[in-house]
Amino acid sequence: MLLTLGRVAVALAATAVALVAVRSALRTIVVPRGIPDRLTRVVFRVVDAPIAWRARRATSSGQLDRRTAGLAILLLLALLVTWLGAIWLAGAGMQWALSGGSAGRAFGASASALTTLGLSSAGGGASAAAYIEAVLGIGLLALIISYLPSFYAAFSRREAPVTKLAMRTGLPPAGPAILSRLWCQAGPQRVLNETWQAWEDWFVDLSESHTSFPLLAFFRSPQTAKSWITAAGAILDAAALALAAVDGDWGPETEMCLHAGIVSLRHIADFHGISYPRDPAGAPIAVTEHEVTAACQELKAAGVAVVSDLDAAYDQFRAYRAAYDQLLLALCAYLYAPPAPWSSDKVAAARPRPPIIRVGPGSLGRVYPPRPKPGGSPPAGPARPPAPPARG
């Protein structure tokens, strides 16, 4: 009687393990929306721990890049091994529960079924379990293989604008450099307005691809000094600086690009469980007034039409930057970003470690914070840039 109950318990446990593995694989690879998975988070924490330890001891940006470049590939392989290992363990439990015999024989029969090298299980229910295990093993491998083309297509789409920006404005990316290189003294600012439009589209695609393919965030650019997160920060800084300090012919494209960038980074941070201020209005920023003033003077020397009141320009820039300052710095630290002005070089806090069990608000793509309790203040929506200052 006790043996029978034990076999039933093992069979139920094996079924649960197999379901957890299949559910994790489907959430990570198949479902076309960002759904955080607990097993994937556990695997990430295990794989990331030694890399984070080595990254903290890197003495140069090149060494940091070499020590962290393999994180995404290691994580993908670790997930595959974890899923297949879970199926193997579940199959061994089912073999023992249905056919009896020793544990060694059960694990051997499970490995035989998983690798489709031959079926060494007994007949009846054990043979049916072996066939199911073989189908799951082949299915997981097929999912990974079919996953890679879409994955690398999204990677190429992400990197093309980043490379174009680097060719136009140099490396590392910087907001003031974007404005000075793309500014047209004859006006109107056609090139800059086209840049805002292109990067608004890029941010929209980034929000979708980096939550549907969460491993994509950790794939580094081919060049050491390039990074999608520092390029995003430079574009946001350029748009904020243009609205705050440059007297240009700006249409709605600039503000829409800035807003799209903030919402996109929030989506990615929410998916990974990275905390950031939900209502950053009035919060201090990492960029100092001296740095903004110096950047404005350099822009003016390069022929850019900078406003005369630099104090007001900094106040306006600070209002824009506060909406994404801590968010950008947290993502730079989380992704081991290479050095870049006004973004990764401003990281002072410890690298965030996303939770395994609990994820924060917006983890399924929602950018709005939770509703307050009755009698509290109304909830704040996604940070929207304030209206640009009056010219004249």
Residues 6 or more apart from 112 whose CB is under 8 A from it? 118, 119, 120, 121, 130
* pLDDT, position 124: 59
Q: What are φ and ψ of residue 345, in 5° steps?
A: -75, -10
Residues 6 or more apart from 346 whose CB is under 8 A from it? 286, 287, 329
Q: Can you read off the two tokens belonging to residue 355?
A: 């939770």
Rounded Cα–Cα distance for residues 365 and 361 (Å):
9
Are 189 and 303 spatial neighbours (Cβ–Cβ below 8 Å)? no
DSSP conformational letter for 150: H
* pLDDT, position 356: 63
* pLDDT, position 127: 75
Are 361 and 369 spatial neighbours (Cβ–Cβ below 8 Å)? yes
Core vs surface per residue 192-227: b (16+ CB within 10 A) or e: bbebbebbbebbeebbbbbbbbbbbbbbbbeebbbb
* pLDDT, position 60: 87
* pLDDT, position 246: 93
> Would you tell me the crossing angle of helices 190-212 and 175-182 to the nearest 10 degrees?
140
* pLDDT, position 147: 81
**pTM of the entire predicted model:** 0.83
* pLDDT, position 374: 41
Rounded Cα–Cα distance for residues 354 and 44 (Å):
10
* pLDDT, position 1: 57
Of 331, 358, 336, 197, nearest to 267 by C-alpha is 331
Core vs surface per residue 113-144: b (16+ CB within 10 A) or e: bbeeeebebbeeebbebbebbbebbeebeebb
- pLDDT tens per residue, the chain (392 residues)? 556 777 788 889 988 999 999 888 888 887 766 677 888 889 998 999 999 999 999 888 889 989 998 898 999 899 999 999 999 999 888 888 887 777 788 888 888 888 776 555 555 567 777 778 888 888 888 888 888 888 899 999 999 999 999 999 999 999 999 999 999 876 778 899 999 999 999 999 999 999 888 889 999 998 888 999 999 999 999 999 999 999 877 889 999 999 999 999 999 999 888 989 888 877 889 999 999 999 999 999 999 999 999 999 999 999 999 999 999 999 999 999 999 999 999 998 888 887 765 444 433 333 333 334 344 443 344 445 555 444 44
Dmax over CA atoms of the chain, in Å, equals: 90
* pLDDT, position 109: 82
DSSP conformational letter for 307: -
